[in-house]
Amino acid sequence: MEKPVIIGAGMVPVGEHWRVSLRDMATEALLNAMDDAGIDKVDSLYVGNMASGSFIEQENLGALIADWAGLGHIPAVKIEAACGSGGAAVQEGAKAVMVGLEDVVAVVGVEKMTDAWPTDATRYLGYAADAEYELFHGASFVALNALIMRLYMKTYGYTEEDLAYFSVNAHRNGAKNPYAMFKREVSVETVLKSPYVADPIKLFDAAPMCDGAAAVIITSKEKARELGVPKDKMVELAGFWRAMDTINLANREDFLTLTAARVAAEKAYEMAGVTAKDVDFFEVHDAFTVMAALSLEAIGVAKKGEGAKLAKEGQIAIDADYPIQTMGGLKSRGHPVGATGVYQTVEAVLQLRGEAPDGIQVPDAEIGLTQNIGGTGSNITVNILRRV
Please indicate whether residue 335 is annotated as part of the active site: yes
Q: What is the CA radius of gyration of the chain?
A: 19
Hey, which residues does 6 pair with through a beta bridge? 218, 235
Q: Which of 380, 320, 376 is nearest to 344 (CA)?
A: 380
How deeply is 16 buried, as exposed, middle or buried, from its count of CB atoms within 10 A (0-12, 13-18, 19+)?
middle
Tally: H helices and E strands in the chain: 14, 11
Distance CA 6, CA 233 (A): 8
**Of the listed 17, 83, 171, 285, which one is catalytic?**
83
Separation CA 150–CA 158 (nearest Å):
9
Instruction: Choose the catalytic residue: 17, 171, 285, 335.
Output: 335
Let me know: does 312 contact 165? Beta carbons within 8 Å: yes
Q: What's 7's DSSP letter?
A: E
Q: Cα separation of 382 and 239, whole Å?
A: 8
The DSSP line for 49-79 is -S-HHHHTS---HHHHHHHHTT--S--EEEE
- Residue 210 appears among annotated catalytic residues: no
Catalytic residues: 83, 335
